[in-house]
Structure 1
Amino acid sequence: MWNQVLFLSIVVIVPFATTEHRSSDLKHIQTHIAPSRSRIIGGQEVVPHSVPYQVALRINGNSYCGGALISPNYVLTAGHCGIVIFTVDVILGAHNLSNSNEDTQVTIRGSNVIIHEGYDDDTLRNDITLIQLSEPAPINDVIQPAKLPPSSDLDRTYLDEVVSATGWGLYKDVPFPSTRDMSDVLLQVDVPVSNLTECGEYYNDEDGDYVVETNVCTSGYRNKGTCNGDSGGPLSLDGVVIALTSFGTDLCEVCSPSVYTRVVNYLDWIAENSDVEI
């Protein structure tokens, strides 16, 4: 049985919560923060700049998370990325993240980090954060705010719909990942949304319920999903950001489900704490 949930870590590795095999000793959920970026498992390179709302977050100078631009002034990411931030640079318009000379790239310092007041570092409940930019992002062909789901989607399960996760995170398991193990280019993996109850049976145990109604799960069939460094990045359906990468297993190539924070459950919170009109 799987029972340890770990963040898709930031790279150094970027926070992406992950879970490991159950052993005789239960392990606690923890965030992985390292100077490497985690990457999509089983995916492929996107058409450059085809996900214009995707951003990279360089946290404290040497760690990475993903995120989604939702207005010229605000970025949405995971709560477990937000809690480790002392400084954050938001990189917009990137495709090859390792190429700082890419002429589409724009870097803006984050001026305010708004972590959901209900965020729980133990259970990863309410794993969502807003980052306010120090100046408005330029809106152009390669930098555009994401569309968010309508409130009418609150009861929508997305079950069996094929969704797309994107990020620069790890593309394979490595013992001690670093930034060298990240993908240079933005990757995407298309995966079906899986049954939330079955996903909960995979992760939940006597220590707590990690998978709840405010999550979306995707199947790990054929080693497809998110990994360290993808944390906070968008899960999209027809160009709408329906969720943010939250957690998975500590080994990403074991066909385990990936778990995300459902954006539709937080529309009111987003509207109250940003300039986004819902």
Structure 2
Amino acid sequence: MLFYGALIISLVSFSEAKIRPNNEIKVINGNDAQKGQFPWQVELMLETTDNNRIFCSGAIISHVWVLTSASCIQNANSISVSYGSNNSSDATTIESKSHIIYKNFNNDTLQNDIGLVELKSHIIFDETTQAISLSEDVVGDGVNVTIAGWGHSKNDSDKNNNRTEILQYVNISTIKNSECAEVFGRDVVTSTVLCTHNSSLVQGPCINDGGAPLIMNAATDPQHVGIFSFMGENGCEKNYPAAYTRTASYLDWIKNNTDV
């Protein structure tokens, strides 16, 4: 998954667990997604204002809107959205019309890390392309969730050409915010942040997975519960928690700015 531009924040007293933002982060120890398994998943390719090319993820929430992270799209000059396939080389691509970043997004603490991409034309839904429902519930700890992305499968390099071609996913559990705050700090892990972690196995998002949707009940009644935001700066294989923006905390903002 995606981390780009290496915005690294030094958190005093949290020596190793500094933040690495999501637009640089692939899924570690993941499984190959099957055709149509995650029909809402999209890959974003951005040309930035400083002429860089970066990749991240997002989720289809209507025929013309994609939900992602603010840190992914904040410096975008143009955005291409690929959808409709678990294989990135076979996907359909559409250009963006505009994008919106939450007005109180904090680039230092990554608070309010949420953004929207409006498409130039409508996506046609079929068995491989669908919108994801947005959860109204605040997810607690110990809940089984799923994260997927085309980012790196190991902490090998920040180069975009090391992304995986086949969409990867893992099932993982949420943890208590207090536990996550012990790693990243209470000023970062607030009530609008959700964290996941597997203490016995390194699993989760990595480079080029930023903005990826965190899904509850992915196989039965899929609900979008979080947007991948950041991980520890020392890499995805250090087995620190991964942090997400809570979807339910921003439902009114999403609805006020889209046709959802």
TM-score norm. by structure 2 comes to 0.88
Helix, strand or coil: the match of 2:226?
A: strand
Give the AA of the match of 1:228. I
Q: Which of 166, 174, 192 does residue 148 from structure 2 map onto?
A: 166
Contact 2:14 / 2:183 at 8 angstroms: preserved in 1?
Answer: no
Contact 1:66 / 1:167 at 8 angstroms: preserved in 2?
Answer: yes
User: What is the aligned partner in structure 2 of residue 194 from structure 1?
Assistant: 175
Is it true that 1:216 corresponds to 2:215 in the alignment? no
Is it true that 1:93 corresponds to 2:93 in the alignment? no
Post-superposition offset of 1:181:
1.5
Deviations 1:236-273 (A, max 9, x none): 00111100100001211111100000000000000110
Contact 1:53 / 1:69 at 8 angstroms: preserved in 2?
Answer: yes
Deviations 1:42-66 (A, max 9, x none): 2111122210000000111731010
User: What is the aligned partner in structure 2 of residue 254 from structure 1?
Assistant: 238
Q: Which of 3, 9, 14 does residue 9 from structure 1 map onto?
A: 3
Is it true that 1:131 corresponds to 2:105 in the alignment? no
Deviations 1:195-233 (A, max 9, x none): 1111011111xxx71111001100142101111111001
Post-superposition offset of 1:24:
10
Contact 2:144 / 2:172 at 8 angstroms: preserved in 1?
Answer: yes
Matches of 2:43 and 2:173, distance apart in 1:
24
Matches of 2:34 and 2:184, distance apart in 1:
34
Is it true that 1:72 corresponds to 2:53 in the alignment? no
Matches of 1:254 and 1:27, distance apart in 2:
9
Give the AA of the match of 1:111. K
Matches of 2:23 and 2:173, distance apart in 1:
28
Post-superposition offset of 1:31:
4.7
Deviation larger for 114-123 or 219-228? 219-228
Helix, strand or coil: the match of 1:268?
A: helix
Q: Which runs of 5+ in 1 are unaligned?
A: 1-6
Post-superposition offset of 1:144:
0.6
Contact 2:19 / 2:232 at 8 angstroms: preserved in 1?
Answer: no
Contact 2:22 / 2:210 at 8 angstroms: preserved in 1?
Answer: no
User: What is the aligned partner in structure 2 of residue 234 from structure 1?
Assistant: 213
Give the AA of the match of 2:155. D
Contact 1:52 / 1:93 at 8 angstroms: preserved in 2?
Answer: yes
Matches of 1:19 and 1:185, distance apart in 2:
31
Give the AA of the match of 1:89. S
Is it true that 1:109 corresponds to 2:90 in the alignment? no
Post-superposition offset of 1:22:
7.8
Give the AA of the match of 1:211. V
What is the alpha-carbon root mean square deviation over aligned residues? 2.6
Q: Percent identity?
A: 29
Q: Which runs of 5+ in 2 are unaligned?
A: none
Deviations 1:177-201 (A, max 9, x none): 3123111100001111001111011
CA 1:92–1:51 in structure 2 vs 1: closer, same or farther (change >3 Å)? same
Contact 1:58 / 1:64 at 8 angstroms: preserved in 2?
Answer: yes
* Deviation beyond 2 Å, 4+ runs, structure 1: 17-34
TM-score norm. by structure 1 comes to 0.83
Matches of 1:225 and 1:143, distance apart in 2:
24
Post-superposition offset of 1:94:
2.3
Q: Which of 127, 136, 139 does residue 141 from structure 1 map onto?
A: 127
Post-superposition offset of 1:96:
1.3
